[in-house]
Amino acid sequence: MTDEQLLRYSRHILLDALGIEGQQKILDAHALVVGAGGLGSPAALYLATAGVGRLTLVDDDTVDLTNLQRQILHTEARVGMAKAESGRQALAAINPAVDVVPLQKRLAGDELDTLVASADVVLDCTDNFATRHAINRACVHHRKPLVSGAAIRFDGQISVYDLAHDDAPCYHCLFPEAEDVEETRCAVMGVFAPLTGIVGSSQAAEALKLLAGIGESLSGRLLMLDALSMTWRNVRFRRDPACAVCGPNSAVRSGEYLRRPAAHPADAAPVCRTTRTAPAN
């Protein structure tokens, strides 16, 4: 670490649990952030200020005036610009040492697989189930930790699927893809601006802890926030031994999962997940 790095990250280094060793792990890490919207904005900002070595920021959308209420990576001057590039500019302005790789596309198939394989942690900041399940399959296959967040209206959810561990549940264990779930469009339902900040920042916290190897992650716990009453709930859940994705009979552990048909139509409208009651144990 250079003198400038020691100074820049001194308030991290001062933390007994983190120290120079933990900060060095963050500096050496590659974080994949899928989605540069309400959740991806604060998540990417904190990963960049904390000095994560490489940050791949993926979003197929462009900045729109209605995004600015909550998507704090973007500015009015960058309306119309690709969100990934707008995000790169915001992150470079704060910490130019971070290698930000902007990708304007909807990740799928081999490309998603390759990126997940090269990442040390994956942050799901997307707004539709099909992409969430595709990211989960790739993370299960490559045994990469997945930090998942969701926010709609005043309801937020955060969890970690620490898939390097055999007994850790995956996203599909909690939210089975085949289940008839309701998807609700953000544009119709609305979302409270600071809620996305709280959830996205929590995702950054979990990602940095995983990278530094400190603390206890949210693996096996779903944190749910009702921002209207500012009430948090902590629901424990276990791995589903019959899970179609991470279970023993799943092809996802092998390379077969890539041969599945595309999980979503290319023109699918962006949607947000609604908060559901998670299975308690």
DSSP 239-276: --TT-TTTSTT-STTTGGGGGSPPSS-TTPPP-EEPP-
Rounded CA gap, 146 and 162, in Å?
Answer: 6
CB of 169 to Zn ion, least distance (A): 6
CB of 195 to Zn ion, least distance (A): 27
CB of 249 to Zn ion, least distance (A): 12
Choose between 125 and 174: whose C-beta lies nearer to Zn ion: 174
Choose between 59 and 162: whose C-beta lies nearer to Zn ion: 162
Q: With beta carbons less than 8 A apart as the criterion, state whether 246 and 163 touch.
A: yes
How far is CA 30 from its chain centroid? 13
Q: With beta carbons less than 8 A apart as the criterion, state whether 129 and 173 touch.
A: no
Choose between 198 and 246: whose C-beta lies nearer to Zn ion: 246
For residue 281, the tally of other CB atoms under 10 A from its CB is 8
Rounded CA gap, 8 and 12, in Å?
Answer: 9
CB of 250 to Zn ion, least distance (A): 8
Choose between 55 and 173: whose C-beta lies nearer to Zn ion: 173
Q: Name the site residues for Zn ion (rule: CB under 5 A).
A: 170, 172-173, 243, 245-246
Rounded CA gap, 161 and 143, in Å?
Answer: 10
∠157-30-186 over CA atoms, to 5°?
30
Alpha helices per DSSP H over the chain: 3-8, 10-13, 19-27, 40-49, 83-94, 109-118, 129-142, 171-174, 186-189, 193-212
CB of 224 to Zn ion, least distance (A): 19
CB of 179 to Zn ion, least distance (A): 13
CB of 232 to Zn ion, least distance (A): 25
Rounded CA gap, 38 and 72, in Å?
Answer: 7
Choose between 103 and 243: whose C-beta lies nearer to Zn ion: 243
Reading the block at residue 67, the tokens are 């995004």
Closest-by-Cβ residue to Zn ion is: 243
Rounded CA gap, 53 and 47, in Å?
Answer: 9
Choose between 46 and 175: whose C-beta lies nearer to Zn ion: 175
Choose between 86 and 136: whose C-beta lies nearer to Zn ion: 136
